[in-house]
Amino acid sequence: MPTEETVLVTGGCGFIGSHLCERLLDDGLNVVSVDNFFTGSKSNVVDLLGNRRFEILRHDVTFPLYVEVDRIYNLACPASPVHYQHDPVQTTKTSVVGAINMLGLAKRLRVPVLQASTSEVYGDPTVHPQKEDYRGNVSTLGPRACYDEGKRCAETLFFDYYRQHNLEIKIARIFNTFGPRMQTNDGRVVSNFIVQALRDDEITIYGDGSQTRSFCYVDDLVDGLIALMASPADVTGPINLGRTSEMTVLELAEKIIEIVGSRSRISFRPLPTDDPKMRRPDIALAERVLGWTPKVPLDIGLERTVAYFEETLSMGRTAMSRVAAE
Ligand code: NAD
Ligand code: UDP
């Protein structure tokens, strides 16, 4: 019998999940990462593989899971619009059936369970900034609905298990988060722009670039998730987690070009359907209840992420030249 707590992280080989696993191991816990490797990979957790307190299970959360753990972080779900729209039916199943399976596991074990929800539950918001009591403006029919409605239904399930089965639940509404270990082909704006800038390729702005987002560095986000899980049982959320400084996508492109020192030019592409025009969290609740506020300035986070992609791309080039030489 292990003496330390064992924590289950679904989606633990993805971008945020891998940082969360690393942090939980640093805190001395046993960690079980469950992942089907749709958008995650073992390379994200390669540095953790030698740790005897770390374990990976290849498993799809749309199927029941039988493990013995003390806490559950449910992060499994592709988060990039490109990836979640690739197989929209599977995206909805992952959010909805995955939530039912993880809630069922938590109910059997009587352990707390945290849901990685999203600012997408607010859709294309008509209220700004977004507070937790805003009910959102979401299309049930559009290409983002598989993700948005899946995540909304997951929140509903969490609250029904809370009321019906007295389960300890925690819901984090995560706003745009970035950092090392996003994939080079992730498709989200920060990784796209950095990879394009490093390659001196065109920076692809969708629409006129006037839409806004608020970007949070991954270390801060992980701090928020851990603080939420550690909060008293009556703190259920939903709680917004994100950075409050808002910028346009055009401003982000210009900032990344400057940080990279890139020769890239900006090109404008069609705006995807239902792309939210503005997004900024109100984080007063997280500040008050969790004592949490993001600490990493945007420029520092971007510099760390640029350094990560520089290394990743140069490793890719080295591997290509090795193959070419063989
Ligand atoms: P990601 O795509 O890098 O990670 C998702 C992980 O879940 C991957 O490892 C993937 O392989 C795994 N996965 C997907 N479907 C699965 C399934 N059916 N069974 C098991 N594993 C599965 O995305 P991320 O940015 O790390 O996001 C993690 C979580 O946080 C997601 O639930 C996402 O909705 C939420 N979130 C992220 C952001 C953000 O800006 N990064 C914003 C809001 C919400
Ligand atoms: N975007 C862009 N160029 C890209 C990728 C994204 O202009 O190469 C825009 C996208 O249309 C959206 C914003 O950047 O307005 C954030 O997109 P992302 O996919 O990162 O996340 P979202 O917040 O839309 O889920």
- What predicted TM-score, i.e. pTM, was given to this entire model? 0.97
Q: Is the CB of 19 under 6 A from ligand 2?
A: no
Q: How far apart are CA 215 and CA 252, in angstroms?
A: 10
Q: How far apart are CA 93 and CA 302, in angstroms?
A: 33
Angle at which helices 15-26 and 218-230 cross, to 10°:
60
Judged against a pLDDT cut of 90, whether residue 3 lies above it is answered with no
Q: Is the CB of 13 under 6 A from ligand 1?
A: yes
Judged against a pLDDT cut of 70, whether residue 322 lies above it is answered with no
Neighbour count for residue 156 (Cβ, 10 Å): 12
Q: Is the CB of 78 under 6 A from ligand 1?
A: yes
Question: What's the mean per-residue pLDDT of the chain?
Answer: 96
Mutate-to-test residue for ligand 1 from 8, 21, 75, highest number of ligand atoms within 8 A of CB = 75
Q: Is the CB of 15 under 6 A from ligand 1?
A: yes
Q: Is the CB of 44 under 6 A from ligand 1?
A: no
Judged against a pLDDT cut of 90, whether residue 2 lies above it is answered with no
Nearest to 221 by CA among 119, 89, 81: 119
Length in residues, the chain: 326
Q: How far apart are CA 162 and CA 169, in angstroms?
A: 6
pLDDT more than 70, % of the chain: 96
| C-beta of residue 12 within 8 angstroms of C-beta of residue 31 | yes
Residue 79's SS3 state is coil
Atom of ligand 1 nearest to the CA of 40: 9
Instruction: Give pLDDT tens digits for 146-195.
Output: 999 999 999 999 999 999 999 999 999 999 999 999 999 999 999 999 99
Predicted local confidence at residue 1, as pLDDT: 44
Q: How far apart are CA 67 and CA 105, in angstroms?
A: 8
Instruction: Give pLDDT tens digits for 90-123.
Output: 999 999 999 999 999 999 999 999 999 999 999 9
Output the residue whose Cα is nearest ligand 1's atom 27: 79
Topology at the third CATH level for domain 6-181+216-244+280-296 = Rossmann fold (3.40.50)
Judged against a pLDDT cut of 80, whether residue 321 lies above it is answered with no
Q: Give me ligand 2 centre to Cα 188, in Å.
A: 6
247 pLDDT band, cuts 50/70/90, is very high
| C-beta of residue 44 within 8 angstroms of C-beta of residue 67 | no
Predicted local confidence at residue 320, as pLDDT: 53
Mean pLDDT, range 222-247, rounded to an integer: 98
Give the ligand at the shortest distance from the Cα of 189.
Answer: 2
Predicted local confidence at residue 250, as pLDDT: 98
Residue 14's SS3 state is coil
Q: Is the CB of 241 under 6 A from ligand 1?
A: no
- Tokens 């013995």 — which residue? 68
Predicted local confidence at residue 290, as pLDDT: 98
Instruction: Give pLDDT tens digits for 6-40.
Output: 999 999 999 999 999 999 999 999 999 999 999 99
- Catalytic site residue from 73, 147, 161, 217: 147
CB contact set of 294 (below 8 Å; sequence gap of 6+): 216, 217, 220, 221, 224, 242, 243
Predicted local confidence at residue 316, as pLDDT: 78
- Note if 122 is an active site residue: no
